[in-house]
């Protein structure tokens, strides 16, 4: 009886821990899509650091009709104040919470100069990343969908 219970416990533990192994990886380049216009905004390169958290850096600002990109983050709080937007780490600290779900990050909106809490979910095929920036509770925030660049 005890032997059978131990086998089931081992199997359950293997299934639970293996779900993290099958989570889609965020690393790579993503096309940020404007949630208001549906237009591409920027290319973001996501990397994983030694603490198993993800950081996203702006590697290209996408030109759009009627929009002149800012070069520096003039309205941003320290340490972002007057930093170049190109090359800026736009989000940090995003951690895998459960299969394909991430949380505990912080993201800056370089145009508004505000920092938001960040959570996200990657699609099962790994091609779309839904990120939600919010203040306080996630119900008060906005979501963007980013598309993986192949």
Q: Are 32 and 146 in contact (CB under 8 A)?
A: yes
**CA nearest to 59, candidates 26, 25, 90, 105:** 90
Give the pLDDT confidence score for residue 63 in this predicted structure: 84
Residue ranges per domain, the chain?
Answer: 25-148
Which CATH topology does 25-148 take?
Answer: Lipocalin (2.40.128)
Alpha helices in 50-133 (DSSP H): none
Alpha helices in the chain (DSSP H): 2-21
Give yes or no for residue 115 having a pLDDT over 50.
yes
Give the pLDDT confidence score for residue 3 in this predicted structure: 58
Give yes or no for residue 14 having a pLDDT over 80.
no
**What would the pLDDT profile of 70-103 be if each residue is shown by its tens digit?**
899 999 999 999 999 999 999 999 999 999 999 9
**What would the pLDDT profile of 132-146 be if each residue is shown by its tens digit?**
999 988 888 999 999
Q: What is the pTM of this model?
A: 0.81
Give the pLDDT confidence score for residue 4 in this predicted structure: 53
**What would the pLDDT profile of 35-54 be if each residue is shown by its tens digit?**
888 889 999 999 999 999 99
Q: Are 5 and 21 in contact (CB under 8 A)?
A: no
């Amino acid at each position: 009886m005890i032997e059978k219970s131990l086998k089931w416990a081992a199997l359950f533990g293997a299934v639970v821990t293996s779900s993290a192994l099958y989570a889609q990886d965020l690393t790579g380049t993503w096309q940020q899509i404007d949630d208001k216009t549906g237009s591409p905004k920027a290319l973001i390169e996501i990397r994983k650091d030694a603490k198993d958290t993800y950081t996203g850096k702006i590697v290209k600002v996408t030109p759009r009709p009627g929009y002149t990109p800012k070069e520096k983050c003039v309205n941003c709080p320290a340490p972002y104040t007057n930093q170049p937007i190109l090359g800026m780490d736009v989000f940090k600290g995003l951690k895998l919470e459960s299969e394909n779900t991430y949380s505990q990050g912080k993201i800056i909106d370089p145009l508004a100069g505000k920092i938001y809490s960040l959570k996200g979910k990657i699609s099962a095929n790994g091609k779309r990343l839904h990120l939600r920036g919010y203040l306080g509770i996630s119900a008060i925030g906005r979501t963007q969908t980013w598309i993986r660049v192949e």
